[in-house]
């Protein structure tokens, strides 16, 4: 059984930083593309970042480019999201997801191809 657990969410002031972590078990972690998504109540889920199985190829939403960095440690079955220069509009529940394949597809931002999701970790950025 695949389990996905996020951590690291917190309340932080605008301009601050946070690092989210996501640990997965019950699968061969290194065989899967991974993604970070976020959602505000009442709004559609947004793809934040995607990373291929090797960790070499990454993609980001325009809203976070240059501020967020996705990475993974396959030896530890762990995915990370380093978030710098946080803005109030980054406030959301952040979810980690495991993809069916090895690379970020053209539709990764819509969550397509991601089968297993965590429960989320809340990030709140105060102005």
Task: Kindly indicate the confidence band of residue 119, based on its pLDDT and cuts at 50, 70 and 90.
Answer: very high
Distance CA 45, CA 57 (A): 22
Render pLDDT for 22-59 as a digit per residue (tens, 0 to 9). 999 998 899 999 999 999 999 999 999 999 999 999 99
Sign of CA dihedral 73, 78, 91, 48: positive
Q: Which two tokens stand for residue 52?
A: 């291929």
Which of 16-20, 85-89, 92-96, 110-114 shows the lowest per-residue confidence on average (mean pLDDT)? 110-114
């Amino acid at each position: 059984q695949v389990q996905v657990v996020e951590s690291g969410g917190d309340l932080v002031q605008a301009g601050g930083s946070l690092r989210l972590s996501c640990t997965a078990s019950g699968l061969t972690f290194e065989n899967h593309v991974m993604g970070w998504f976020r959602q505000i109540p009442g709004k559609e889920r947004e793809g934040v970042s995607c990373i291929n199985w090797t960790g070499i190829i990454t993609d980001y939403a325009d809203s976070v480019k240059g501020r967020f960095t996705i990475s993974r440690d396959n030896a530890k079955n762990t995915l990370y999201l380093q978030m710098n220069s946080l803005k109030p509009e980054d406030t959301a529940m952040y979810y980690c997801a495991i993809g069916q394949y090895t690379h970020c597809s053209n539709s990764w931002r819509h969550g397509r191809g991601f089968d297993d999701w965590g429960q989320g970790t809340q990030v709140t950025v105060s102005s």
